[in-house]
Each structure stands twice: as structure tokens, then as C-alpha cells.
Structure 1
């Protein structure tokens, strides 16, 4: 499927597929199921078709930039932590989830090589065929230059694994359930497009044109027994997210590492611990969309043509991992983690443009504070380099 055809298909066929799913579900679809289709419907969802996603400027057709695209020093610094964990666990494999353009894989492989750290296999778990093709193209020179290194792709984790798992901006792209509090009661927010079932007053239509027929997706709240894992003070109206899919994913990774008996995992993403996530003043939640390097808060419009994302509840991540048998190595800001891993020294040796971009990884008003890093490991790993100073585990 070409890039143009993939984007056009998302614009036309995807709204109809979602409308059919709503009809099949009785006229109402929980938001996490809507988000799953919007992002991952085969061949149509945002991450399933071939449109550009990662890049520095809107002119490239991209929608956002991630840390590895911003600066190669991100992966080089992370490589120092990965190398330490490979040694601590006596393993020689790295697994990366959601590798995007392949930039982080390239940086980690070359960074580990520069550190003299043996690496037998690098496996990318990638569901998107278009992104997998881009990664394979980017990493082909490395595969040719290092015939002793196996770079492979998988669609799922094995039941048991030994090695280091890395996920940069993976958890934020996992579908979330939306909850809304009205009059002190919690409701689950879902999506409908049924004209025979008028939405409540808070619903907002978002028309999606398909074959000259307008499909208007609307919010509709229904009673639920669900509630946030942390009590939200007050009785004011409040919208937020819960993350069962992300926490189930972390559980799966943790159980696989626990069965393997030796390994570690590092997740880098934007988010908060529970007490901050469910702060009374965060009454509109964290759900946002990204398109052409602009942010909006309407996931029901332009379905399939923009990213949908929510911040990560790192307390939930830590608890899921602990319940599955892993230790929490640490939790801190991206800036502190990268500084602990030696990025300042790397910046001193780099040219000015590289230093300037790397500063965006560290600056508090850029990515340095909003993004966090959590480290998890099997028993006996020992202290982790990235959390030597500024560890915030006590705030989870």
C-alpha cells in the first residue's frame, strides 16, 4: 500500500469500519475500543498505514518528533544503562517495543558496540508492517556491517525471555478507558454515531466525511462500576483515564522476564505517579492528539489521520511489574536519567547543533521533566546507573 493510498484509505474506510463496530456493539463503543481501531485497525489505523509520522518539521509530512529523532545522544546515553543491565543479568539480547523509525535501535546497537558490550541479538516487536519496513531499511547497513549480530522482528513476546527490554513512547500509545465524573458519580465515556439515540448535553459531534455521507462520532457516558485507582478529591466534574491495557502489557513483559530468570526493562514516556495523575486540578484528563506537530483534544475528528495518546500512570506500571515478580530499579525524570548515564560528557565532545538538540532532551520546559524513566529488573540486578542521583521511586 502506498503512502498516499494508505492515508486516503484511513480518511474514507476507517470511519465506516468504526461505525460498523459501533453498530455491532449495540450503538455504543467504549473509548478504548474506539482508540484501538483508530490507531491499529489493519491497513487503516494511524499506526497501520504508511503515512509519515516521525520527523522534525511539519514540511516532512510528519506529526511529531521523538527523542531518538531529536538527538543521537539519547540512544548513546541509554546504551550505557542497557550495557550495565546486560552485564548485571549476564545476558546478551535486547528487545525493543514500538521502534518507530528505527533510530533508537540504530543508536543502541552502535552505542553498545562503542562500549565494547557483546550483543548477540536485537529483536524489535513491531505490529505495523509499514514501520517494520522502514526499520528494516534503516538497519540494513548495520546488519551487513555486523554479520555476527542478529537483528530480527517479531509480532509478540515469547513466553520466556532473558535480556533487556526497551520501550520509548510505547505505553502512551496504548488504548485507555475514559471515565467522567458527574454529580459525584463515575461514568464510562464511549462513542456513538447513532442518530436514533441522541447523546447527552456534554456530547460534541465530530463529522467524518466518507463517500459524501457524514458520520458524526459523538461522546456518550454510561453508568459504570469503574473508577480511578487513586481517589480524586472533590465532587466537581472530572474526566480522566485508566490504563488496563498498558498495565496488562507491563505484566506480560514482567512475567516473561521472571520466567527467564534474568533481565531488565526500561520504559521512557511522559506521565506522572498516581497522586499527580489524578490531581483534583487535572479535571480534563491527559488525552490529546498529534498532527502536523500541533496538538488538539478531539480524538473523534480526522480519525486515522492523527495520533491519539494519553500520559502514563507510572505507579500502575510499577505495581504491575512488582505483582509479576520484578523489582523497581528506579524512577526519575528523563533529564536526570540521561545525565546519570553520561550525556553531559557526550555533549561536551559534540558539535554545537548536536549539543543544542540534546539540550531539548534535558530542558525542563522541553522533554526533560515531563518525560520520565522507570527501570524494572529480576532479582539481583543491583543499583542501576540511570537512577544514581535524583531517584523518585518514593513518589510512586
Structure 2
């Protein structure tokens, strides 16, 4: 039996037990949490390759997708300009990174910021990714540390690249259209031994009324919003104990609420990624591929504000990186490096789909990354 077959078989049995314990049904958020994070079995908790520029059989990488730091080191170098400014504005010398992946972004930030950063803390649930990060970041010595949970209080600058999209979501489906339509929560059940979709009545609703007569599938994001609220709580605890609080920047693909729940986006945004191919069936090959959903940045912004944070800005990744000096960094890069960096800002690549949102404790300042093209007014 091959290792992938063993992996999917063990995870499938775990999911079967969870469904049986749930009375024959679990919500998609519970399924997604197990599929991605079940210890030793979930996608981010097993030993399979994830991050890299090439799929299996090409340069021996065997990766499933590429993120911005793997695509170009100029990403982290540009982001470092904003992180450095935020460290100075908050009077702190600590950086916290959530979901550090291969460690590429940490390497880029530390290499650019140097002694400005006294301590760099990585919060990551994956033991196999942690080992990869430790090997990559060994040269930075005791500056880097790893934790698997947030302490009671934190201060400094938080960064998260493609973190919010990997947080489990709930699926809601409307049948019958806007007028008299019925909403259901979509979850996972068993048909024999196989995983299958199953809907249950629910009082849950999207945050806005979705117009139109069509059936409609979408997501709500209680875990991502709870995460932002928890982060705000940890900042607040720091301030209450005499610390300095801090700032946070999240980069991810998504939309403001008005675009997220647009009538034409009626099939939802859940996607799976494996070997640089995308599909829309999270019930297949569970544990062997990533499962994501686009971010509702309005919900994220409101969660931060409700928890006491101020929004520093919201804009496209292209505008953010250009504000942070990416163009000047590209001038001294090789042609190949410029070509990869261009993918970070090209509208048909990552430049427009990916957005950046910033938060801070205390009085906001005119943050570098949002000086031109701020879109906070559309949230």
C-alpha cells in the first residue's frame, strides 16, 4: 500500500468516526478542519510537499501551489518596508508570522530588516512545515522561535500571507431564490462508506441579502473573524500590562462584502489545489490537497473594529507592493527576477485578486502600503 493511499485511508476513517459521532452529519467547517489539520493526517499536518514553483516530477519539487514569497524574494523585501515602518510606529521589535509555510517570507523579512527585529515568532500548527522552516532559518539563530498557540498577550507586528483563506468556513446554500427561498447549511455525511454532501435547515444567513431568483451557494467565515478578534484581545492584554500593542497585516485573495455575495457568484469560492491544478471537489483525495475559500475582507475589517482595532488600510496587493517600493527593487533585479516579480502585481495574475488589510492598536498613522489606492471605503 502506498503512503498516499495509507494516508487517505486513515483520514477517511477519522472522518467517518467524526460523522457518526455527529449523528450522521458534520458541518463543512468541521470537515475542512479535519481535512487540513487532523494531527499527522490532515493536509497541513502530513509530510507531503506543499510549497514550490513546480509540480511533482519537475525539478523534483512535488509541490501543490506557489505563494508570493516562493515566487519572488522581492515580495518579502517590499513587505519589509511596511513591517519596518510599523515596528517604528508601534515602538516594538517583535514580528509574529502566522502560517509561515516554507519559511521563505521569514527569511526575506529577517534578511531585510536585520537587527531591527529582536525576536521573530512563527505560529504554525504543522510539525513537518516547522522542520522545514527551522532548516531554512537556522542561520538566524535564537532570533527565531516557534509556538503552536498564541500566548495571553502579544506585542509587535503580525504578518499573515495566505492564512485567512485556509481557515475553515461554513457553507450556506439557498434553494428557491430570494423571494421565499430556504437556506440550508451544507455539510458532509456518508453514503455507505463514501463521503457525500448533505444539507440541513439553518438559521444562519450571509451578512447581506443576496438578490436574484437563482439557487445560491456561498460561505460565511466565523473562524477567520474569531481569529481577528482573538488577536485583538492579545494586543489589548499587552497594552493592559504595560506593553505597546502593535499592528497586523494580512495578504490574501478575496473581496469586500458587496463583491463576495454578488448574485453572479452563486457557486461559492471553495477551491482545492494539488500539483498546481485546481478543482472544486473537497470530498475527493482528502488530505492530499489544499482546501481554501476566498476572504470576505469586510467581515475581517468589522471583526477587528468590533474588537477594538483600527483599520490602517485596505488595497490590492499590486498597489500595496508598489507603495512599498517594489518598482525600485525590480530595477536592480535580473530579467528573470523581474518577470516573477511582475506576477505579484499584474492584474491577471496576483495583483488584483490578492488584497492587503492592515490593523493597529491605538491611533492609526498613514501607513506606507496604503498611501496610494486605499480602498477602505469599499469595505
Question: Whole-Å Cα distance in 1 between the matches of residues 220 and 71 of structure 2?
Answer: 30
Deviates more, 1:66-75 or 1:256-265: 256-265
Task: Please state if 1:277 is matched with 2:257.
Answer: no
The equivalent of 2:363 in structure 1 is 380
Question: Does 1:105 find its partner at 2:98?
Answer: no
Q: TM-score, normalised by structure 1?
A: 0.91
Q: CA deviation at 1:269?
A: 0.2
Root mean square deviation of aligned Cα:
1.1
In structure 1, distance between residues paired with 2:14 and 2:150: 28
In structure 2, distance between residues paired with 1:81 and 1:8: 44
Partner of 1:156: 149
Correspondence 1:80-91 to 2 at 5 A: 80-91=81-92
SS at 1:305 equivalent? coil
Distance 1:10 1:86 in 2: 42
Match of 2:313 among 317, 330, 355: 330
Residues 310, 363 of structure 2: 8 Å contact kept: no
Residue aligning to 1:131: 129
SS in 1 for 2:96: strand
Q: CA deviation at 1:194?
A: 4.0
Match of 1:257 among 231, 235, 247: 235
Give how far 1:8 is off: 4.2
Q: Contact conserved, 1:268 with 1:372, CA < 8 A, in 2?
A: yes
Q: Match for 2:220 among 221, 228, 242?
A: 242
Q: CA deviation at 1:234?
A: 1.7
| Matches of 1:257 and 1:112, distance apart in 2 | 22
User: What SS does the corresponding residue of 2:80 show, helix, strand or coil?
Assistant: helix
Partner of 1:308: helix, strand, or coil? strand
* Mapped contact 1:289–1:296 kept (Cα < 8 A): yes
Equivalent-residue separation in structure 2 for 1:150 and 1:67 (angstroms): 23
Give 1:315's aligned residue.
Answer: 298
Query: Which stretches of structure 1, 4 residues or more, deviate above 3 A after TM superposition?
Result: none
- Superposition TM-score, scaled by structure 2 size: 0.95
1:187-241: CA deviation from partner (whole Å, max 9, x where unpaired): 000111144xxxxxxxxxxxxxxxxxxx311111110000101111123100000
Q: Tell me, what secondary structure is at the counterpart of 2:116? A: coil
| Contact kept in structure 2, 1:39 and 1:46, CA below 8 Å | yes
Matched, 1:68 2:61: no
C-alpha displacement at 1:381, in angstroms? Answer: 3.8
Matched-pair contact (CA < 8 Å) for 1:9–1:44: no
Aligned partner of 1:47 in structure 2 is: 44
Q: Name stretches of at least 5 consecutive residues in structure 1 with no aligned partner.
A: 144-148, 196-214
Of 205, 220, 223, 2:201 maps to: 223
Q: Structure 2 stretches of 5 or more lacking a match?
A: 240-244
Please name the residue that 2:242 is paired with.
none
Distance 2:375 2:116 in 1: 31
Could you tell me how far apart the structure 1 residues matched to 2:353 and 2:101 are? 20
Secondary structure in structure 1 of the residue aligned to 2:278? strand
Please give the alpha-carbon distance, in whole angstroms, between the structure 2 residues aligned to 1:82 and 1:258.
Answer: 20
Contact 1:89 1:381 (8 Å CA) reproduced: no
Q: Does the 8 A contact of 1:258 with 1:326 survive in 2?
A: no
Picking from 6, 13, 17, the partner of 2:10 is 13
Deviation at 1:382, TM superposition (A): 1.0
The C-alpha deviation readout for 1:31-89, integer Å capped at 9, x for no partner, is 11011111111100000001000010113211000000000000000000000000000
Once the two structures are TM-superposed, the CA of residue 324 in structure 1 deviates from its matched residue by 0.9
Secondary structure of residue in 2 paired with 1:367 = helix
Work out whether 1:23 is the aligned partner of 2:13: no
Q: Does 1:191 align with 2:192?
A: no
2: CA distance, partners of 1:280 / 1:15: 35
How many positions carry a matched residue from both structures? 365
Quote how far apart the aligned CAs of 1:9 are.
3.5
Alignment of 1:287-302 (within 5 A): 287-302=270-285
Residues 173-192 of structure 1 aligned to structure 2 (within 5 Å):
173-183=166-176, 184-192=181-189
Separation in 1 of the partners of 2:155 and 2:270? 34
CA distance in 1, matches of 2:112, 2:9: 43
**CA distance in structure 2 between the partners assigned to 1:185 and 1:112 by the alignment:** 53
Tell whether the 8 Å contact from 1:327 to 1:379 is kept in structure 2 after alignment: yes
